[in-house]
Amino acid sequence: MTDRDKEERPVLMKENIVLNCKAATPEEAIINAGSLLLKSGYIKSGYIKGMLSRDQNFSVYLGNMLAIAHGEKKARDQILRTGISVLIYPEGIDWHGNQVKVVMGLAAIGDEHMEILMHCANIFSDRKQVERLVRCRDKEKVYQMFNSL
């Protein structure tokens, strides 16, 4: 990847949105979210281990059917640039006793995660909006929802 590729890469790329995922375990969902970030050049492979470890030590479930998988602080050196992935599981995942239907993978440099989290708080504060997101079958609409990141 060239420096120019790094500069032009948005926080969310359409290929990092996966709709209608089949039910999985939290571990499988984290690996899937992390693999998208890896494939797109946002992280090095070691970050996925940090994502799994974070959820084992402190659940990444945030409420309203959302889990944001992100790595432990010690995995920050595995982040190449800020990016997210979005996976939608309409059937839901049992996430340590909570139902999750949207899994986001998050890798952020410095404090860049704050703006992303604030935007996600706006999206996920309205249960009806979350339900529309989960039912959505149009990747473009999902992309537009997150496009302001």
pLDDT digits (tens, 9 = 90+) for 48-75: 999 999 999 999 999 999 999 999 999 9
DSSP 43: B
Label residue 46 by pLDDT band (50, 70, 90).
very high
Which single residue is written with the structure tokens 């992935």? Answer: 85
Give 61: exposed, middle or buried? Use CB within 10 Å, 0-12, 13-18, 19+. buried
What does the pLDDT read at residue 148? 55
Is pLDDT above 70 for 8?
Answer: no
Task: Show Cβ contacts of residue 14 under 8 Å, excluding neighbours closer than 6 positions.
Answer: 139, 140, 143
Q: What is the pTM of this model?
A: 0.91
Label residue 2 by pLDDT band (50, 70, 90).
very low
CATH architecture of 10-146: 3-Layer(aba) Sandwich (3.40)
In this structure, of 6-15, 29-38, 45-54, 135-144, the range with the lowest mean pLDDT score is 6-15
The yes-or-no answer on residue 70 being catalytic is yes
C-alpha distances (whole Å) from 107 to each of 37, 99, 134 are 8, 23, 22
Q: Give percent of the chain above pLDDT 70.
A: 93
**Measured between alpha carbons, how far is 90 from 112 in angstroms, rounded to an integer?**
29
